[in-house]
Amino acid sequence: MKKTLVLSYTPRDNSNTKKMLDFFIENNQDKTEITFVDLAEEAPDLLLKENLNLYVNRNFGGIELTDEQQKVLAKNDKMMQQLLDTDFVVLATPMYNFSVPATVKAWFDAVIQAGKTFGYTETGVQGFCKNTKALILITSGSDFGLEPYKSVNFATPFLITAFDFLGIPAETITKFGMIQYADKLEQMIEDAKEEIKVVSDIWY
């Protein structure tokens, strides 16, 4: 059975993003082995002074770490391994202040690891997760599909670029304006479910 890594950042009560993700899980839980990571409960470690320098020394400098030093990197290494072990990734997140929530960015900082998920080759930088596919479920309160906000949507381009850097083609199911167009909310959720069905049928 194919494996699917589900990454959820949906802590808000009555989250519309969670409604989309819940449907994905309900629709596919019998078709794939799901590993569920709640990024609001199990946040990656931020790259601060100690762990950043240990990571650079290990992954770029080839320095062997002690067992105690390795423990400092253990949480992020576990998340990286989850990515390496999966066939599909589903990331569900809202847009916060023009970009992704900090915890979502921290997940990418955790799993984008030199020599593990990407590397430098004679033809340039290459992602090592080429047999993986990703689906991004993303929502916003305002309509970032139209100006003046379209040009300051930094979330979607970042997510697609970050997955691509890892060698993972990603597609998005985007529902913008869920507060702005509150009268259309239920229809937007139903439309998202239909789009999720299409991707699910292709994947599984």
Task: Give the model's pLDDT for residue 121.
Answer: 87
DSSP state of 75: H
Find, among 39, 135, 44, 47, the residue nearest to 96 by Cα.
39
Beta strands in the chain (DSSP E): 3-8, 33-38, 88-94, 118-121, 124-127, 133-139, 170-175
pLDDT value at position 61? 94
- Provide the residue-wise pLDDT of the chain in tens; the chain has 204 residues: 999 999 999 999 999 999 999 999 999 999 999 999 999 999 999 999 999 999 999 999 999 999 999 999 999 999 999 999 999 999 999 999 999 999 999 999 999 999 999 999 888 999 999 999 999 999 998 999 889 999 999 999 999 999 999 999 999 999 999 889 999 999 999 999 999 999 999 999
Q: Which domains does the chain have, with CATH numbers?
A: 3-203 (3.40.50.360)
What is the token pair recorded at 42? 């199990």
CB 83 within 8 A of CB 126: no
Residue with tokens 């992954």: 59
Q: What is the pLDDT of residue 6?
A: 98
User: How high is the pLDDT of residue 95?
Assistant: 96
Measured CA to CA, the distance from residue 1 to residue 135 in angstroms comes to: 18
Establish how many alpha carbons lie within 13 A of residue 92's alpha carbon, considering only the half-sphere containing its beta carbon. Answer: 25
What pTM, to 2 d.p., does this model score?
0.95
Q: How many CB atoms lie within 10 A of CB 157?
A: 10
